[in-house]
Structure 1
Amino acid sequence: MTGRFRRDYRRSAAIFTPKSLAVVALLLAFVVTTPPAAADAVDCARVKCVALTFDDGPGPYTDRLLQILRDHAARATFFLIGDRVAADPAAARRIAEAGMEIGNHTWQHLDMTMLPPQDIAAEFRRATDALVAATGRRSVLARTGFGAVDDAVLAEAGRQGLAVVNWDVNTLDYRNDPAATRHLLSTQVRPNSVVLLHDTLAPTVDLMAELVPALTAEGYHLVTVSQMLGPRPPGSLYGSRDRA
C-alpha cells in the first residue's frame, strides 16, 4: 500500500463511523423492505381501469375484503362513516395500511341536502377528524349519504378541501340480491367506471372473491378513484347525482 493510497484509505474509512454505518444500515433496510408502488404507476389513459368503491364501513367483513384485494394486487377506495371509524379506529388504520384510498362518508350518513349549513359543515368536519385520528391521513374525496348532493353541500365540501365522488355504476347490492348485482357488474362495468358497493354486506364481499379475479382476467387494473381520475378540484362533483 503506497503512502498516498494509505492516506486516502484512512480518510475514506474515517467517514464510516459506527454512527454513520448505523444510518446507512437503516436506509438500506428501508429500501429493501418498502414494497414498490406498482399500482401507482398504472396509466389509466392507456390501459383498462376500474375503481371499486366501498361505502359505509368499516364493518365486520372489511378485513376479508382487504385480503381478497391483496391476493390479487388490487386497490380500491373506501368511503368510511365517521362515527364507525371513531368506534373502530384500528379497522380504518388497517384499510389505510393495506394501500387503499380512504374517503369521507360524513359523520352519520345523513341526507345532507336536508340539513342546515352548520350541520353540513359538522358532518364533513367530524368525519375528517375521526379519519385523521385513526389513520394520520386527511381525505381529499367525499361521498355523502345516499349520494344526495346539492349546491350547498358542494360549496361546504369545497371549503373543507373535499371533492365529491359518486358513481357510474350502481350495483344495487344493498338490495341483497347477489344474482342481480352480479348481472349489473357483468353488463355495466366499462373502462374507467366508478362502481358503488358496500363492504358492510356479506354477500357483496363474497361476490368480490369472484369478481376481482374475473375483472383482472379481463385485463382490468383495479385502482383507486384518485389513481383513475387524477386530482379532483375541491367542491366538484363526479358521477351520478341519482340517489342510491
Structure 2
Amino acid sequence: MKELDGYDIPDLNPTVDGSCGGDPAAAADAANRGWWTCGGHTRDTDIVACPDKLTWGVSFDDGPSPYTRVLLNYLEEKDISATFFVVGSRVIERPALLIEEYMAGHEISSLTTLTNEQVVAELGWTRKAIKTVLGVTPTTMRPPYGDIDDRVRAISLAMGMVPIMWTRTPDGGKFDTNDWRVAGGIVNGTESFSTFEQILSNATALDTGFIVLQHDLFEITVDLAVGYTLDYALNHQPKFNLKAIGECQGFPTGNLYLETNQNTTFPYPNTTSTGIDTDGDGTVDTKSGDGGSTAISSNNNTTGAGFVNTAPVLASFVLVGAALLSSLL
C-alpha cells in the first residue's frame, strides 16, 4: 500500500459485480470513471491495439495450466511469440511452465479487481510469485474481464504496471473469441470459431492492428487456439503478422520487466519509494534497470536509475500517457 503514497487514487467505489446491469449508478457514470466494461472507455495509458495494420498482438489469459505446454509447443513450431497474462496461484502451482514461457521468449504479465487493498494484494502477490520464479517483475498487467476504471488504472500505474486490454470496434464490438464460454458450456466450439472469423473480418477494416482475448486455462481453449484460430490467422488473406503485444508496440524487450527497464518514463515513475517493494517487507527490492539488486530503504529519497526525481499526481496520468508510451520507441 505504501506504493500508492503520493498518488491521487480516484475515490471510486468498487462496482457491485463488474457488470453494467449489476450497478446502474456506476454504469451511468461510466464515461467519467473511465469504466471499460460499460462503454469501452479507455485512457491514453491503456494499450488496446497494435499500432501497425494487420498485426495481431497474440495473448493468452489465466494460466499457466496443464494444457499450456501444448500451446507452447505449437507457438515454437510456428515461431510465434505471445504475451501470457498469468494468475499468481497458478504460477506457484506450475512454476516450471512459467519458466518455459519466459525462456522461450514469450512475454509475462499479470491480472486484477475489487477494493483498493484487494487490488494491491492481487497485483502484489502475483508480481511476487512471478519475481520469485523468474527473477523479474512485469511492467504490464491485464484486469480480469477487462474490468478496469480510473481507480484500478491508477493503482496499477502507481505499482509500475501499464494496463493491456483487448481491441473494441467503434460500434462497441469486442475482440473476444468467447473461448471461455465454450469451457463454461455457454457456446460451442463452432460458435466460438465463427466469432473469431468475424473478429478477423473486422480487423481488416481497422487502420491499426488489434489484440484478441484468448485463454490457455482449459483444454478446449488451447485446442481451439492450436487447432483453429491461430492456423486460420496464419493462412488468412490479407496476411496477418502475429506478435507478442510488447513486440507489436515496438517496446524493447527489457522494458517489459522492471529489472531490465532502462526507460525513464515507463512504467509511470513511482518516485515516492524510488522503486518496488516486491517482498512487501517495507524495503525497496527493485528499481528500474538495477537487475533486482536494490538494497535501500523505501524511505531513502535517492533517485534510482530509470526514474525521474519528480512527484506528479496520478490524476494527470491521462494527459501524459501518450508521451509515456511513445517514449519507449
TM, length-normalised to structure 2: 0.53
For structure 1, list consecutive stretches of 5 or more residues without a partner in the other structure: 1-43, 107-111, 238-244
Residue 149 of structure 2 is aligned to residue 150 of structure 1: yes
Distance 1:186 1:52 in 2: 15
Aligned length: 188
Distance 1:99 1:57 in 2: 16
Of 219, 223, 228 in structure 2, the residue corresponding to residue 202 of structure 1 is 219
Shift of 1:213: 2.6
1:58 match: secondary structure: coil
Residue 233 of structure 2 is aligned to residue 215 of structure 1: yes
1:170 match: secondary structure: coil
Distance 1:203 1:88 in 2: 19
Partner of 2:191: 180
Partner of 2:67: 61
Shift of 1:49: 1.4
Higher helix share: 1
CA contact (8 A) 1:72 1:213 kept: no
Residue 84 of structure 2 is aligned to residue 85 of structure 1: no
CA contact (8 A) 1:75 1:222 kept: yes
Which structure exhibits the higher relative contact order, with contacts defined as CA atoms closer than 8 Å and separated by 6 or more residues? Answer: 1
Partner of 1:124: 123
Higher strand share: 1
Aligned-residue sequence identity (percent) comes to: 28
CA contact (8 A) 2:64 2:217 kept: yes
Shift of 1:204: 1.9
Partner of 2:137: 138
TM, length-normalised to structure 1: 0.71
Distance 2:59 2:165 in 1: 9
Identify if the C-alpha distance between structure 1 residues 156 and 47 changes in structure 2 by more than 3 Å, giving closer, same or farther: closer
1:139-176 deviation line (CA, Å, top 9, x unaligned): 11101122211211111111111111111111111111
AA of the residue aligned to 1:93:
I
AA of the residue aligned to 1:126:
W
Shift of 1:45: 5.8
Partner of 2:176: 170
2:129 match: secondary structure: helix
Partner of 1:224: 244
For structure 2, list consecutive stretches of 5 or more residues without a partner in the other structure: 1-49, 168-174, 183-187, 252-265, 269-316, 322-329
